Amino acid sequence: MRIEQANPFAYEFEIRNTALVLIDMQRDFIEPGGFGETLGNDVSLLEAIVPATQAALAAWRKAGGLVVHTREAHKPDLSDCPPVKRNRGNPSLRIGDEGPMGRILVAGEPGNQIIDALAPIDGELVIDKPGKGMFYATGLHEVLQQRGITHLLFGGVTTEVCVQTSMREANDRGYDGLLLEDCTESYFPAFKAATLDMIRAQGAIVGWTAPSAALLAALS
Ligand code: TIU
């Protein structure tokens, strides 16, 4: 497969060696009452990427590719949440506090679930990650290695926080990563734009970006 319209140049991959990774498409970030809103953000911006992400997920499932969903999630006793993370900033509710969708960023709580529109199905990996990056303290690299995965297609939220961190972690581990431009969003549009530029600058220093339509065209 070849995505000719990828930036900064064409991206080549084989479906059997590639996973679609959807980062943290959980209620905590996309719906009111979760972590995103407690940090003072307008979460409605993020909802706009759901239709394009749904279409990419449907096409990828149809093609038979591996799907990985991540959730930013901490254990109920918060033993995997460094105090500096819990104490950072001035949120109206901190990680572990009881909010309208249950305890903020805690595994198993209603707010921590992937949104219904993108709910995982049997055979897909669901990774709970205590950090912003998807490899830190998750064992995901070993799982992907066992499955022969060398290429990662990314979507999810937020572009400059968990998505970019995960792409950089992936790049350092030897994966070729491509970010689907309209399947990712930030609470800060300027940060999204800057992140897309940073990823593909200097000859794909972190990876590639492409509109999801280019992936759909390659798969059709
Ligand atoms: N705050 C923010 O933009 N993002 C996060 O805290 N987590 C993720 O990006 N998932």
User: Structure tokens of 146?
Assistant: 């066992």
Q: What is the pTM of this model?
A: 0.98
Whether 24 is a known active-site residue: answer: yes
Q: What percent of the chain has pLDDT over 70?
A: 100
Confidence of residue 152 (pLDDT cuts 50, 70, 90): very high
Q: What are the C-alpha distances in Å from 156 to residues 4, 30, 63, 99, 103?
A: 22, 10, 20, 23, 22
Paired with 115 in beta bridges are none
d(CA 104, CA 73): 9
d(CA 218, CA 133): 28
User: Mean pLDDT across the chain, nearest whole number?
Assistant: 97
Ligand 1 centroid vs 35 CA: distance in angstroms?
A: 8
Q: Whose CA is nearest to atom 7 of ligand 1?
A: 162
pLDDT score at 129: 98
**Average pLDDT estimate for 21-29:** 98
Q: Which of 21, 24, 88 to mutate to test the pocket of ligand 1 (most atoms within 8 A of CB)?
A: 24
d(CA 148, CA 104): 35
Max distance between CA atoms of the chain, in angstroms, equals: 48
Q: Whose CA is nearest to atom 8 of ligand 1?
A: 162
Ligand 1 centroid vs 42 CA: distance in angstroms?
A: 13
pLDDT score at 140: 98
Please work out whether the CB of residue 25 comes within 6 Å of at least one atom of ligand 1: no
**pLDDT tens column, 104-147:** 999 999 999 999 999 999 999 999 999 999 999 999 999 999 99
**Amino acid code (one letter) for 12:** E
d(CA 107, CA 197): 33
Complex ipTM over 0.95: yes
Confidence of residue 215 (pLDDT cuts 50, 70, 90): very high
Whether 75 is a known active-site residue: answer: no
Please work out whether the CB of residue 161 comes within 6 Å of at least one atom of ligand 1: yes
Closest CA to 159 of 2, 9, 12, 29: 29
Whether 77 is a known active-site residue: answer: no
In this model, does residue 91 exceed pLDDT 90? no
Confidence of residue 169 (pLDDT cuts 50, 70, 90): very high
Q: Which of 81, 129, 132, 192 is catalytic?
A: 129
**pLDDT tens column, 180-206:** 999 999 999 999 999 999 999 999 999
Is there a cis peptide before residue 53, judged by omega within 30 degrees of 0?
no
Ligand 1 centroid vs 186 CA: distance in angstroms?
A: 8
Q: Phi and psi at residue 105, in whole multiples of 5°?
A: 55, 30
d(CA 150, CA 18): 6
Assess contact for 148 and 18: CB atoms under 8 A.
no
